[in-house]
Amino acid sequence: MSSVNGETGPVEHTVRLGGSDLHYWVYGAATTVRRSDARAPVVMIHGLRGTHHGLELIAEHFPERTVVIPDLPGFGDSGPMRQRQHDVEGYAQLVTELVEHLGGRDRPVLLLGHSFGSLVAARAARLAPEPVWRLVLVNPISTPALRGPRVVLSRLTSVYYRLGKALPPRVGRALLSNRGIVLAASAAMVRSRDKRVRRFVHGSHLRYFSRFHSPALLSETYEASVTHTVAEYAAGLDTPTLLIAGAEDDIAPVHGQRRLAAELTDAELTVIPDVGHLVHYETPVAASRAIQRFLDAREEEEARQ
């Protein structure tokens, strides 16, 4: 079933997958994903505490393709999964089912994931490689958070999420949604000196960062985000892959991205200067151009074969 968000803009759909009422939005000229589309649809997976809104700035740069962005179960408008854990494996299975629901077996998709979504996307491509035509990982998690450059902050954040889970639900939600803490986390990630960009990033985090189902679900997902890296899924991942890194990203530092690119069978790395872990917010144009170059080159290569 579906409902239209006005006469313009994306079209919202709902499907029951993994015990969740999963909400996803279709961008572009089409209101649904058609198996007859000449160009591969794009499915985008947001990061931890995100919603589909976070990837809209990239989606709008692909008007000739159909773009689909879900709210992962337990975030935004999507209910939690009743049959799976809210970890990398559980979300990857869900994304695999979504891609197949969209007709990926007949028309493979370009699968894109940002940050925690990069873990989910990479694992999904390993679980079911046939429906995934190409893979794009934006700010992919390539360095273990509990052993990386921000190990102290990562451990403190783990304590913060566990405390939020241990407290009574209302108190835990208030702690995890605290405006000051959300703004502090936002300020720690943004690198742009443009006041308009900074206001937009902070406003987006205040608006969407706290749209999670429960402190327990958020804690479970956070632990999954800091205990896995994309490298765990590199072996046997043959899907042509584009990595997009921020030159100043200390959550997913560039040296880890270079190592990850070398471990993947068929990968290329684009490093965007003067940006950190928020490529999708701060430099969506540069990211979109890198993705388009990647797609054009791959499509030309296929045409010559």
DSSP notation for 60-120: TT-TTS-EEEEPPTTBTTPPPPSSS-SSHHHHHHHHHHHHHHTTTTTS-EEEEEETHHHHH
What are the E-state strand segments in the chain?
A: 2-4, 11-17, 20-27, 42-45, 67-70, 109-114, 132-138, 241-246, 267-272
Domain shared by 132 and 158, yes or no = no
Q: Which residue in 237, 228, 67, 231 sits closest to 135, CA to CA? A: 237
Domain shared by 112 and 10, yes or no = yes
Give the pLDDT mean for 16-42. 81
Residue 19 contacts residue 57 (beta carbons within 8 Å) = no
Say which amino acid occupies 229. T
Alpha carbon distance 59, 78 (integer Å): 20
Structure tokens given for 173: 């939600």
Domain shared by 159 and 101, yes or no = no
Alpha carbon distance 236, 27 (integer Å): 32
Domain shared by 243 and 123, yes or no = yes
Domain shared by 214 and 235, yes or no = no
**Does residue 224 sit within a domain?**
no
The total of structural domains in the chain comes to 2
Q: Domain limits at 205?
A: 151-219
Domain shared by 160 and 266, yes or no = no
HSE-up (13 A, CA, CB side) for residue 220: 19
148 pLDDT higher than 70: no
28 pLDDT higher than 90: no
Domain shared by 156 and 287, yes or no = no
Q: Which residue in 142, 231, 245 sits closest to 191, CA to CA? A: 245
Domain shared by 157 and 236, yes or no = no
Cα three-residue angle 285-289-290, rounded to 5 degrees:
120
34 pLDDT higher than 80: no
Domain shared by 124 and 245, yes or no = yes
Express as a percent the part of the chain with pLDDT over 90: 79
- pLDDT band of residue 30 (cuts 50, 70, 90) is low
222-270: pLDDT as tens digits:
999 999 999 999 988 999 999 999 999 989 999 999 999 999 999 999 9
**Does residue 225 sit within a domain?**
no
Containing H/E element for 195? helix 195-208
Give the pLDDT mean for 180-194. 94
| Predicted TM-score (pTM) of this structure | 0.93
96's CB contacts (< 8 A; 6+ apart) are 124, 127, 128, 131
Phi, psi of 16 (to 5 degrees): -90, 110
104-134: pLDDT as tens digits:
989 899 999 999 999 999 999 999 999 999 9
Q: Which position has the token pair 């308009």? A: 196
Structure tokens given for 69: 């962005």
- pLDDT band of residue 299 (cuts 50, 70, 90) is confident
